[in-house]
Amino acid sequence: MQLFGAQLNSDVRESVLKQIHAKGRVLEAKLVHVRWGLKFLSLGMLLWLFAQVFWVVSYARLPAR
């Protein structure tokens, strides 16, 4: 308690701001990974959609039996 009481307000504010900025950097790094994941998920869904359309169109072009 004495150690905390001996700190100046500016020291406490600096320490808190450093912690906030460090957490912000960690969250930004996590968001980068989330963005990459969403991009690849979107790409995968588009490829799946094109494959489905391709199969439907190619099946429709088969001669009737």
Whether pLDDT at 5 is above 70? no
Q: What is the pLDDT of residue 2?
A: 60
Whole-model pTM: value is: 0.59
Higher-pLDDT residue of 25 and 1 is 25
Q: Which two tokens stand for residue 32?
A: 């980068």
Closest Cα partner for 38 from 30, 59, 50? 30
The tens digit of pLDDT for each residue in 30-60 reads 999 999 999 999 999 999 999 999 999 988 8
Q: Which two tokens stand for residue 49?
A: 């959609």
> Can you say how many angstroms the Cα of residue 46 is from the centroid of all Cα atoms in its chain?
19
